[in-house]
Structures are given as structure tokens and as C-alpha cells.
Amino acid sequence: MSLPAPPGSRRAALGGGHGRGVSGRDEAAQRARNAEAPDIPHLWRRVLELFRPYRARLGLTAALVIVTATAGVIPPLVIERIFDDALFPPGAEGPNLALLAELVALVVIIFLATAALGVWQTYVTSSVGNRVTGDLRMQLFDRLQAMDLAFFTRTKTGVIQSRLQNDVGGVSGVLTTFVSSIVGNSVTVIASLVAMIVLDWRLTIVAVVMMPLLVMVQRRVGQIRARLASRTQESLSEMTAITQETLSVSGILLSKVYNRQRLESQRYADENANQVGLQVRLSMSGQWFFGLVTVIMSSVPAMIYLVAGVLIARASGQGLDPTITAGTIVAFTAIQGRLLFPLMALMRVALEVQTSRALFARIFEYLDLEPAIQDAADARDASAAPGPMGRVEFRDVTFRYPGADAGARPTLDGVSFVAQPGQTVAFVGPSGAGKTTLVYLAARLHEASDGAVLFAGADVRDLTHESVVDRVGVVTQETYLFHASIAENLRYARPDATDEELVEACRAANIHDQIERFEHGYDTIVGERGYRLSGGEKQRIAIARVLLKDPPVLLLDEATSALDTVSERVVQAALDRAAEGRTTLVVAHRLSTVADADVIHVVDGGRIVESGTAAALAAAGGLFAELAQRQLA
């Protein structure tokens, strides 16, 4: 049960959140809790699966990393020889300059080789990581494209955008550096430890005695960061949703006409303050830990000097030659110094991996979504349907929106009708009766809960979704145009349409002459959602776009209800011309626009309660006559 919204909030004004009666923030909090405890082994198996197409490059990366990391340990060992055999050779009066030159040259060559290999490794690693990130982003986008319309009606656009941008962007660093960091730093640490043991095992114990404690603390810090990362991403989703809602043309227009700019700024400021606080906490979490690691690792050389001095003094006191030389101490501290950065890098990678766990869980949550509308394994093309193209039939169709309470009344309940090829069939009735849902079922934008929708004599569930959609054209009350030219918007229906075909379609839609009067003609940019055009102009461009598609079935969802009388007449004339020779299903608010329909079905409470011609229904004195009387009044 959702809590009441505070007075003055948008949620209070709109009557609550979205989806199953739970507020968006409640849903976000629940998703965050779910993301904190995913099936971790399964999660990381899925992450590693993303790298499968790039196994060859990963092998090359691993080889380069191992060679580079191993080679990096060699210079300190050479330095031991420089000190003990070249600078201070036993029994010699001075340095062995020939050997010193050879050893210094060897160190320089090793450094040059590791630098070159490092550049190559960085290129390969970056290439693999960014390709995997791109693949993940495309998988997520493709999955969202496949989702049914109901998913988008219950999910904020800004939340979807945040999954694509913020969540995938948040894991890109891990995907890019994961392999090289883990392999490279692990090899460096192992090689350094082996070299340190070879030099002196007693000093090695001093160097690593604090490691187990640091690992335990690191795990705790990682858990804290994972929770903070999940909350941070949810906050980013909310900020993206606010931006998308309020900075769109429609949102700006709404806030200005109601003088609510300060309210919208305050909403954004509140979420921005929450985001800033979370980012600061996320940035600071673990900083004291890494400070402690730095202090411990930086103090180790001094401890090594102390322990080495004690061991040398003890050996001298017993009359023995000390096994620890100056070269040993210099080489050991050099290797231990090399151990600091890869060890800290490994700990940082471990923290990043733990932090990104919540983000991967959010991404895979969307990748695991199952579209409500999917083709059957044996689905066939609509061209193979047994009946005449353009025939649409509903057989006892019932529809409930996903997530609706089981005991609630269905949106459509036992609807049956037949639209023959070339017929115009209209649906009228009170608002909320289910008219729009009905025509969307005909286009298979929704899937019937019970009963069957037939297209050309075949159940649409036995046909491929694409083949049905390709044969249906839709013009809705709210026309959507891209921020592009008129020609580009028209060619969205048929990218290969010629200029002559564009003109022909626009003439049929009664818009060509108006387009010609624009300064740039068909190259005119219409603005976001077509806001540079009038409502009638947008509708006629939408009609021309449908005519370019040339479908046998045309669905008109209150296509003229938002227009003034003059524009309505012009658009209605274009619609009448577009409907010629096509099966047309019309949802109408104004009964005068469907007076000539072959059949009118009156829908009320999700059922067809009356059917007939306009004259017959008016004479019957039922709901149609009542609606007509109200409109006349």
C-alpha cells in the first residue's frame, strides 16, 4: 500500500505513482533491495559470458599482461647484482664498470620492452572492454524494442533511459579494465612474492603479515559500496525521469501554463541534493581503508630495515656471515615497493566489482524481461493466412492489462465482431469503455487474455508479429513526429520511397500545398514532436505517412478529436480518401465523423452493447441515441 503523497507534490496532483498502485520510489527501493542480494555466482557467469565472442583477443590480452607483469619484476633482481657484483664487488678495489654498463643496459631494455608491450596491451584491452560494453548496450536496447506496449505504459521513460545510459556507463570501467587489472596485477603480486621469498623468506613474512586483515576489511567496504551504488543509480534514474518529463516540450508547456517552474526546480533540487550526498558517500567509502593500506605498505620498508638490521647483528654476534646484503635489502624494498601499487589496484578492482554487482543486476533485470507478445515456434507469414487480406475478426475477446487485480473487471469482456475487407467499422462509447484497447488488439500491440483475434482468417498468435504489423496502419489522436525534416518523417514508413511518392501521398492527405508554402518545403524541420506545425498539419502528415505504408487495414484512434472544426473537416476528408479500398476500424468521439460507417459498434464497460448503422442506432433509442443527443445539446 502506497503512502499518501505530500501536499503540492506532482504525485499528489496526479493521484499516485505508477504500476500496481505502488509509487515509483517504492518500486525503486524494492529493486534496490533485490539488487543487493542477487545470485552472485550466476551473475558473474553471465558477465563472463559477455566476453565469449572475444576469446582470442582475451587470450592475447592475458599473454601480454603476464609477460609485462613478469618482466616488471626482473629489474629489481638485476639491481641486486648491480649493487653486489658491479658497484661493490667482493674483494675488488672499485666498481666493475663493464658489468655495470651491461646490467644498466639490460634494465633499460627491459623497461623499453615492457612500455611497448603495455601500450599494445592497453589497446587490446580497451578494444575488448568497449566492444563488450557496446554489445551489452545493444542487447538492452534490442530487448526494450521487443517489449510490448503495456511495459512502456507502466514504466517511466526516464527510468528506461537511465538503464541504457547510467547503468551501462557505470559498469563500462569494470568491463574495460577487468581482465587486464585482475590478470596483470595478480601476476605482478605473485611474481613479486616469489621474488621476495627467493631473496629472503623472513623479510617476506614481515612484508605480508597484515594482508589477511586488509582483505577482511576490503570485503566489508565492498558491501557498503555496493549498497550505495544501487541507491545512487536509483537516484540517477529518478533525476533522468524528472529531466525527461519536465524539459520536453510538453512538460515545459505544462509547467509554464500552470506557473510551476519553481515547483519543478525544487523537485530537481531535492533529488539533486540526494544524488550529491550519495555521490560524496560513495566517493568517501573506502578512502580511510586505502589510506590505511598506504600507511601500512609505506611503513613496511622501514620495518624491513629494522628486521634486516636485527638479523645482520645477530649473525655477526654469532661469528657468521650475514645472508642479507645491501643489494638484498635494496632489491627487496624495490620489489616490495612494486607490490604496493598492484596490490592496491587489486583491492580497488575488487571494490569496483562489488560495487558494479548491483548495476549488473539492474541491467540483467531488464535483459531477463519477457515480452508479452512473442511469435510461436511455427508462426507463419500473414500472406499465408487462409482468408481474404483485410478481414479482421474478434471472437469472444477478453483483455486485462498486466498487473491488474484478478478480481477487477477486465478492460474488454467477451467482444466479438467481424470487419470485412473494405468495410469501415466504427467504435463509439463513453470514455474508458475500452475502444482504444480494442483497436490496439487488432494491431497486435496488445495480446488478448482470452478469446481470439483473427487476421485474414488466421489467429494472430499463429502469424508472425512483424507480418501482421506490416499490414496495419495506425493514426492516433496524438501524432508523433521526430525532430527531423518532413521528408524524413514521411520516409519512416518507407525508407525507399521516392520524392514523387512522397508528393503523391501528401496530395492524397491534403497537405502537399501547405508543405510547398513552407520556406524549405519537404526539408522543413518540424521540431520536437512536430511542435512547429499545427495539429491539423501534423495529422495530415501522419496520414500521408500511413498512405506511404499502404496497409490493407487502417486503424484510426480519435484522429480528429483534438482539432478545430475547420481542421477536422480537412483532416476528415484526407482520412476518407485514405480509407478507400481498405478495412478501416475507427474509434470516434464525435459521432458525426462516423455517420457513413458501414457498421457502428457501441462499446460500454468493455462490451459491445449495440451494433448497426447510424440511422438504425439513432432510431433504436439506446446508448448511441443518448450520446448523439448529448452532443447535439
Q: Which residue, chain included where needed, has cell 508479452? A: 372
Which DSSP state fits 409?
A: P
Residue 23: inside a domain: no
Residue 501: inside a domain: yes
Residue 29: inside a domain: no
Tell whether 490 and 467 lie within a shared domain. no
Tell whether 391 and 338 lie within a shared domain. no
CB atoms within 10 A of CB 332: 25
Please determine, for residue 60, whether its predicted confidence score (pLDDT) is greater than 50. yes
Pairing between strand 599-604 and 607-612? antiparallel
Q: Compute the distance between CA of residue 278 and CA of residue 367 in angstroms, rounded to an integer.
A: 26
Domain end, chosen from 525, 549, 573, is at 549
Which DSSP state fits 431?
A: T
Please determine, for residue 33, whether its predicted confidence score (pLDDT) is greater than 60. no
Please determine, for residue 7, whether its predicted confidence score (pLDDT) is greater than 70. no
Domain end, chosen from 315, 334, 367, is at 367
Tell whether 126 and 186 lie within a shared domain. yes
How many domains, in total, are found in the chain? 3
In 54-96, alpha helices (H): 55-81
Report which residue type is found at 598.
Answer: D
Residue 4: inside a domain: no
Q: Tell me the pLDDT band of 222, cut-offs 50, 70 and 90.
A: low
Q: Tell me the pLDDT band of 14, cut-offs 50, 70 and 90.
A: very low
Tell whether 294 and 416 lie within a shared domain. no
Q: Compute the distance between CA of residue 216 and CA of residue 206 in angstroms, rounded to an integer.
A: 19
Containing domain of residue 501, as a range? 479-549
Tell whether 284 and 416 lie within a shared domain. no
Tell whether 44 and 136 lie within a shared domain. yes
Residue 9: inside a domain: no
Q: What does the mean pLDDT of the chain come to?
A: 79
Q: Please, what is the Cα angle at 464 between 459 and 469, to 5 degrees?
A: 90
Does residue 417 contact residue 601 with C-beta atoms inside 8 Å?
yes
Tell whether 287 and 363 lie within a shared domain. yes
Report which residue type is found at 356.
Answer: S
In Å, how far are 18, 31, 170, 288 from 27, measured between CA atoms? 9, 6, 21, 33
Which stretch of 198-212, 300-314, 338-352 has the lowest confidence by average pLDDT?
A: 338-352
Please determine, for residue 254, whether its predicted confidence score (pLDDT) is greater than 70. no
Please determine, for residue 410, whether its predicted confidence score (pLDDT) is greater than 80. yes
Residue 77's domain is classified under what CATH number?
Answer: 1.20.1560.10
Residue 171: inside a domain: yes
% pLDDT > 70, the chain: 84
Tell whether 569 and 516 lie within a shared domain. no
Please determine, for residue 18, whether its predicted confidence score (pLDDT) is greater than 70. no
3-state SS track over 206-263? HHHCCHHHHHHHHHHHHHHHHHHHHHHHHHHHHHHHHHHHHCCHHHHHHHHHCCCHHH
Is residue 419 classed as helix, strand or coil in its secondary structure? Answer: strand
Task: Return the sign of the alpha-carbon dihedral for residues 118, 120, 123, 125.
Answer: negative
Q: Compute the distance between CA of residue 105 and CA of residue 370 in angstroms, rounded to an integer.
A: 62
Q: Compute the distance between CA of residue 310 and CA of residue 304 in angstroms, rounded to an integer.
A: 10
Tell whether 316 and 229 lie within a shared domain. yes
Tell whether 87 and 227 lie within a shared domain. yes
Residue 436: inside a domain: yes
Domain end, chosen from 489, 522, 549, is at 549
